[in-house]
Structure formats: C-alpha cells, structure tokens
Amino acid sequence: MTGSTRKIDEQLEAASHACSRSNTQLTELRRTVLGLVLQAERPLTAYQLLDRLKETRRGAMPPTIYRALDFLLDNKLIHRVESLNAFMPCEAGHHDCAVQFLICTECGQVAELEDRSVSQALDRAAQAAGFRPSGTIIEIEGLCAACAEA
C-alpha cells in the first residue's frame, strides 16, 4: 500500500465516522465517489467522476453521481468550485462557508484557503451596502507556486 493510498483510506474512515456522528451514512457508493474525489490529481467535473465511477460500476448513471455528490457537499466533505464546475475534497474538514479557492489556470490545481479576515472584510462591505451575506466563497485565478516558478 502506498503512502497516499493509506492517507485516502484514513480520510475515508474519518468521513465515515463524521457521517455516523451526524446520523447519516456514508454508503458504499458515497464512499466510492468520495474516494474518486480524493484520488483525483485536480478537481474533476461530475461527468469526469462518472467516467471513473463506471470503471467499477458499469451501470452508473448521471443521477447516481449527482446524488452522491450532493450528499458529500451537504456533509461538507467536498467543495464545488463554481468557476470550474468541478469538485474537490475539503482539506479542512467541517467548516462554514468562508473559503477562498486559489485556482491555477496552468495546471488546474486548486488550493483552499480559510482566511477569516478576508471574508469578514467582504461581509462588512456587503452589510454597508445593505446586503445580508449568507456565505462568502471567493475563487481567485492565477498561477500556483510551482507554475509561477517554471
């Protein structure tokens, strides 16, 4: 077993425990889909995930993957990166919606930041405009450290 396979197994185990604590169940299908998201080298779209799922579940259909992804989103195990329409694992575990994504336009890697001062500043600005924000998700495009160096 490679180091990364073991890490993914540990993440799946942790996700399974988190689900039972919140009285939901990480079924075998949901666990498989979460495993695909964790194994991916970069965020994948639902259809890319469906293609990978079909390698082990030939009968998998779009609703199969969408239902599993909805469950994983609801339980904060994964994130949807809106501008890519793609899914990535949540690196931080359970947290609220104050997240920033750093999207590399060169290699497609996405890193997750959770800088509260950024989201609080935006919330204050929105409130000053009479707007009541319910969540702040920011997607920043650019070059990751590795690509910027190359």
For the bound state, the minimum distance from the C-beta of residue 128 to Zn ion, rounded and expressed in Å, comes to: 27
Distance of CA 128 to the CA centre of its chain: 31
Residue 64 or 100 having the CB closest to Zn ion: 100
For the bound state, the minimum distance from the C-beta of residue 56 to Zn ion, rounded and expressed in Å, comes to: 26
Q: In the beta sheet, which residues pair with residue 89?
A: 78
Which parts of this chain interact with Zn ion (CB under 5 A)?
A: 90, 92, 104, 106-107, 112, 144, 147
At residue 145, what is the residue type?
Answer: A
Which residues, including other chains, have CB under 8 Å from residue 80's CB and lie 6 or more apart?
69, 73, 86, 87
Residue 84 or 104 having the CB closest to Zn ion: 104
- Asked if 64 contacts 33 with a C-beta cutoff of 8 angstroms, the reply is no
For the bound state, the minimum distance from the C-beta of residue 134 to Zn ion, rounded and expressed in Å, comes to: 17
Residue 107 or 121 having the CB closest to Zn ion: 107
